[in-house]
Amino acid sequence: MSDTILIVDDSVSMRQMTSMILKSGGYEVLEAAGGDEALKQFSNDVKVVITDYNMPGMNGVELIRTIRSGATNKSVPILMLTTESEEAKKNEGRDAGATAWITKPFEKETLLKTIKKISGEVSF
């Protein structure tokens, strides 16, 4: 029973790259190209959401707000991806309810470690 992670990014290559990293870490992966598509795929089975900040249509922060104010799985850990020129957006994401954030580009280990940190996979 591996955990399912929802990746939301308008960039196919980023989704593909992130997905490969996560699969190597033993996770199941769902992909969405934007906020609206993400909400359609979102369910109680999703253990972690990884969302890009900058996307056409509904952006990352709007997606986080929508999830946090929704009825389903609203306390899901959400990891926001930003680029270095979006430092200021971190606070926006944090206020919207992002659990954690990492800056692109990131190392494979950084992503997996952060996911582990927020998904509850810490051994007791």
Binding mask 62-91 for other proteins (x = CB under 8 A): ------x-----xxxxx----xxx-xx---
Helix H or strand E encompassing 29: strand 28-32
Interaction of residue 43 with other proteins, rule CB under 8 A: no
CA distance 84 to 106: 11
Interaction of residue 16 with other proteins, rule CB under 8 A: yes
Cβ at position 45, least distance to other proteins in Å: 15
Cβ atoms of residues 37 and 31 within 8 Å: no
Cβ atoms of residues 35 and 11 within 8 Å: no
CA distance 10 to 50: 12
Q: Which residues are near other proteins by CB under 8 A?
A: 10-14, 16-17, 20, 52, 54, 56, 68, 74-78, 83-85, 87-88, 94, 97-107, 109-110, 113-114, 117-118, 120, 122-124
